Amino acid sequence: MNASIKEILKDEIRSASGHEADILPTPDATLGDYSTNIAFLIAKEQKKKPVDAATELNAVLESRVASFASIQVAPNGFLNFFLKPEFLRQRLGEIAADEKYGTSTQGAGKTVIVEYSSPNIAKPMHIGHLRSTIIGDALANIHEALGYHVIRWNYIGDWGTQFGKVIAGYKKWGKGKSDIAMSDMLEWYVRAGKELPDEEGQKEFKKLEDGDPENRELWEKFNRISLEGLKETYQLLGTTGFDVYKGEAAYEPQLKTITEELEKEGKAKESEGALIFDLEKYHLPPGLLRKSDGATLYLTRDLASLRDRLQNYAPAEILYVVANQQALHFEQLFAIARELHFTGAGLVHVKFGMVLGEDGKKLATREGKVVPLQEVMDKIISLAETIVKEKNPDLSGEDRARVARAVGIGALKYNDLKQHPYSDIVFDWDAMLDLSGNSGAYLQYTYARLANISAKAGTMETGDLALLSEPIEQKLMKQLLGFPDAVGRCAQTHALNGLALYLYELAAAASNFYETVRVLDDENGSRKNARLTLIRTVARTLQMGLKLLGIETLDRI
């Protein structure tokens, strides 16, 4: 039985009554596990009392769901479904044996491009790129688990006037320097911005655009150095590598032809010397494709890249994981794509909000600048190290550093993913590492405790699952059933907060379970093994869920 219980109930109701029912979780256990108000709808249509419609539907439905649920008709017309204990047991046995539980093949044969991170070269990655990296990496993991062929795409910002400034700065202050670092490039960029006239940078960029060999070589060198730096950051973050590093510069050579074609076909038109794409029909400002000085723009490059993605990868869907601020840009891009009949793929801007400090204001340095990512990572890892030292004083230096890194980075990721991406997220450093709150550290800690109990027991026998009759055991078994649904919904909603919440509730129920039920010293050996089966299965589900979120699990914290 792979479909979720909700889907099965929906299907049965559809074939019994021809109606599309909403299946809802119940507010409390006395009302069963799921309920539906479909009888209200039927009653209205057939001019009956809801309770009568419910009773009639129940007469047909009862035998159809008897293998897993019993139904109660409430006096107000609700149908309440109670999952049967023997069904839960049977499912636990199946789930325990299914190493791939939670994955599916629904995406088989379909390609999804997930574009994320996409930082700008010659400037350090900042916190907005961090959100994109965390969300995008997790969405890519989810699609892989659902059987899609996933292309992880890093659309590097490797073109633009900022390079003019870096080159101008280099020529002034960096000439002959042998081992150039990211920090040098940033320094030249900032200093050039302050001390050199704007024309200097513009001139160098123009030369680069025109193919000047010296500037071209410098550009390539700066790119290479930046990419090396980026890869170190990705490694520290523990994100999966990218399949495609193809940024804005790659499209530069085609832009002239593209804009000229659009102009010739009458799709784009001249306006005050610039080339624009009219989007009035979409109630959007016109898309600017070429400035009056001939320079092409961010939008033009995105259009070329979109065409490349569609033609060469035939994706079913392209997800652009980019900050809220660029919403208009993507609305324009998608509208132009529609006008040009770039069809076949769903285009989605997966937007996300800003990162706020504890004071509720946009996270910034004391001087009001964006906080470099490295600082954020260093801070959370060092805070995590303090906790690890406290919890586990005998962990040696190297091991402690490894655990602290996993806990710190896990905290950072979970704090982001547990919230809906649209919202601005707050960096409350203590809450992020709270071992008893809704944090990555808490989930990792719960996993480690479960793994520990299982390791201590040292047996892999299943035991008699019929002995799992405590309410908390029933609850845990029911929660396990929800995992595939929680994973699938992430792909539908392009958000991970539902899965994060699912994992948190599973962990909370698991903690409750091992705090109230004796496991290792249960004198009934068969029940002990059954409980261990439950523990192992929950632990594995937590581990798999966290892995999808990009969060490492550890055997001890």
* Nearer to ligand ARG among residue 347 and residue 542 (C-beta): 347
- β-strands 69-73, 34-36: how paired? unpaired
Q: Cα separations (Å) of 273 from 287, 290, 303, 333, 538?
A: 14, 9, 21, 21, 64
d(CA 437, CA 45): 48
Strands ordered across the beta sheet of 317-323: 244-245, 149-154, 111-115, 317-323, 346-352
Gyration radius (Cα) of the chain, Å: 28
* Nearer to ligand ARG among residue 130 and residue 530 (C-beta): 130
In angstroms, give the least distance from the CB of 161 to ligand ARG: 14
* Nearer to ligand ARG among residue 300 and residue 415 (C-beta): 300
341 catalytic residue (yes or no): no
DSSP per-residue codes, 389-400: HHH-TT--HHHH
In angstroms, give the least distance from the CB of 395 to ligand ARG: 38
**76: exposed, middle or buried (Cβ count in 10 Å: 0-12, 13-18, 19+):** exposed
* Nearer to ligand ARG among residue 133 and residue 537 (C-beta): 133
Quick one: which of 223, 162, 157 has its CA closest to 198?
162
Instruction: Report the residue number whose CB is nearest to ligand ARG.
Output: 157
The residues with which 275 forms a beta bridge, in sequence order, are 270, 290
CB 372 within 8 A of CB 402: no
* Nearer to ligand ARG among residue 120 and residue 446 (C-beta): 120
**Distance of alpha carbon 87 from its chain centroid, rounded?**
33
Residue in this structure with the two tokens 């402690």, named with its chain if needed: 400
**396: exposed, middle or buried (Cβ count in 10 Å: 0-12, 13-18, 19+):** exposed
Annotated active-site residue in 129, 165, 246, 528: 129
3-state class of 510 per DSSP? helix
* Nearer to ligand ARG among residue 128 and residue 488 (C-beta): 128
In angstroms, give the least distance from the CB of 300 to ligand ARG: 11
Which one-letter amino acid corresponds to residue 66?
A: A
Annotated active-site residue in 123, 143, 351, 494: 123
In angstroms, give the least distance from the CB of 137 to ligand ARG: 15
* Nearer to ligand ARG among residue 119 and residue 488 (C-beta): 119
In angstroms, give the least distance from the CB of 355 to ligand ARG: 14
In angstroms, give the least distance from the CB of 449 to ligand ARG: 40
d(CA 448, CA 308): 45
d(CA 438, CA 335): 40
* Nearer to ligand ARG among residue 200 and residue 248 (C-beta): 248
Q: Cα separations (Å) of 513 from 311, 437, 447, 473, 486?
A: 53, 17, 13, 7, 22
CB 368 within 8 A of CB 337: no
Annotated active-site residue in 10, 126, 246, 528: 126
* Nearer to ligand ARG among residue 115 and residue 144 (C-beta): 115
User: What letter would DSSP give residue 30?
Assistant: G
123 catalytic residue (yes or no): yes
CB 478 within 8 A of CB 33: yes
Query: Angle CA(133)–CA(138)–CA(142) in degrees, nearest 5?
Result: 150
User: What letter would DSSP give residue 365?
Assistant: -
In angstroms, give the least distance from the CB of 261 to ligand ARG: 21
Dihedral sign, Cα of residue 443, residue 445, residue 450, residue 454: positive
Structure tokens belonging to residue 245: 């590093």
In angstroms, give the least distance from the CB of 480 to ligand ARG: 38
Query: Angle CA(32)–CA(33)–CA(35) in degrees, nearest 5?
Result: 80
Strands ordered across the beta sheet of 287-290: 269-271, 274-277, 287-290
In angstroms, give the least distance from the CB of 519 to ligand ARG: 49
Dihedral sign, Cα of residue 335, residue 338, residue 339, residue 342: positive
* Nearer to ligand ARG among residue 128 and residue 484 (C-beta): 128
In angstroms, give the least distance from the CB of 259 to ligand ARG: 18
d(CA 354, CA 326): 12
* Sites of contact with ligand ARG (CB under 6 A): 115, 118-120, 155, 157, 302, 320, 322
19 catalytic residue (yes or no): no
* Nearer to ligand ARG among residue 61 and residue 303 (C-beta): 303
In angstroms, give the least distance from the CB of 333 to ligand ARG: 8
User: Could you give the angle at which helices 127-145 and 373-391 cross, rounded to 10 degrees?
Assistant: 70
Catalytic residues: 123, 126, 129
